[in-house]
Amino acid sequence: MVRCIGEPSNRFEEDHLRMLRAVRFAKTLEFEIAPETYTAICEHSKKISRISAERIQMELSRILIESAQPGDAIVLMKNTGLIAEIIPEVLPMDGQEQPPQFHPEGDVFEHTVIMLNEMRERSIELALAVLLHDVGKPPTATLDLQDPNGPRIRFNRHAEVGAAMAEDILLRLKYPKSLIKTVVYCIKNHMRFKDVQNMRKSKLRRMIGEPTFPVELELHRLDCEFSHGKLDNYEFLLRKMDELKQEPVLPPPLVNGKDLIEMGIEEGPEIGRLLQKAYDYQLEMNSDIDRQELLEWLRREAGSLDSTDLSDFFE
């Protein structure tokens, strides 16, 4: 059992960060917190805001990475009042209902707790992405009375709203900018996985080739497995990744700006956009096209347009 030496209130007055450490020790060692220590944390929890963001951030990261059940650690932080002082944006998730046909496991907070507990990997990027991936649901919740199957809760644009909220939270906690960029990107884009089987090859390959993809993929697995349970898109991506093992996911471009200038295309924004179009076509064709064939394709496409029509070409 985790307990303070002497009077708990005195120990927490000496260093308010000890309240977070008590949570970490309890959830890392899978111990209970002694009743008198727990009561003292509840009484002093508001004082955690007096601690520097950097120190809080370090303890929070260790709680998410080292706890046997990180979700249970977040529950303990909520029950003691600590989460209200550190990430108050999490509180509205508790009690926020979700459509039962997609989320039989419970409300947004329960869903998040389960995902945290079931993480196979323990990177701080993944843990924070899981913790905050649905933080945008409470502020975007609406009741759709026009749904043919009856009234249904919807969370339109919750990923974008949640990404903005997550950025504010992580900046407030002084996380490194590179980590914030990764977590925010994963949250903002976590709903695109529902469309992967209908994506163009070029878009799919770009997605798989992104440095954030391993975190995104695991976030998607957790999100699906511990809600509706359908993993068809996850399994599709695993197969696609296996197919691409024998070749670079994102091979080097076969043509460059010099090639386009030699075709007579003037330097300017059109060069970059046409190169993007050519690279997308290259990815669509996989290895079934070489440099000369791609140049011929570019000549036909660009040659069929007047310079005034190029904007239409890039729609």
Assess contact for 215 and 185: CB atoms under 8 A.
no
Q: Are residues 23 and 167 in the same domain?
A: no
Residue range of the domain that includes 229 = 87-250
Q: Are residues 104 and 139 in the same domain?
A: yes
- Residues 296, 300, 305, CA angle at the centre, nearest 5°? 145
Q: Are residues 203 and 289 in the same domain?
A: no
Any idea which of 48-62, 80-94, 243-257 has the lowest mean pLDDT? Answer: 243-257
Q: What is the pLDDT of residues 273-307, one digit of tens each?
A: 778 777 887 777 766 678 887 787 777 776 654 44
Give the pLDDT confidence score for residue 315 in this predicted structure.
Answer: 37
Q: Are residues 181 and 296 in the same domain?
A: no
Q: What is the pLDDT of residues 89-135, one digit of tens each?
A: 999 999 999 999 999 999 999 999 999 999 998 999 999 999 999 99
Q: Are residues 106 and 212 in the same domain?
A: yes
Give the pLDDT confidence score for residue 291 in this predicted structure.
Answer: 81
Q: What is the pLDDT of residues 166-216, one digit of tens each?
A: 999 999 999 999 999 999 999 999 999 999 999 988 889 889 989 999 999
Q: How many domains does the chain have?
A: 3
Segment 144-147 long-range contacts (CB within 8 Å, at least 24 positions apart): none
- Residues 132, 136, 139, CA angle at the centre, nearest 5°? 140
- As a whole number of angstroms, the distance between CA 180 and CA 166 comes to 8
Does pLDDT of 83 surpass 50? yes
Which amino acid, one-letter code, is at 87?
I
Give the pLDDT confidence score for residue 1 in this predicted structure.
Answer: 92
**310 falls in which pLDDT band (50, 70, 90)?**
very low
Residue 2 within a domain: no
User: Domain boundary residue among 219, 250, 281?
Assistant: 250
Residue 1 within a domain: no
Residue 3 within a domain: no
Segment 70-73 long-range contacts (CB within 8 Å, at least 24 positions apart): 70/27, 70/116, 70/117, 70/119, 70/127, 71/112, 71/113, 71/114, 71/115, 71/116, 71/117, 72/27, 72/113, 72/117, 73/23, 73/24, 73/27
Query: What's the DSSP call for residue 92?
Result: G
Q: Are residues 224 and 277 in the same domain?
A: no
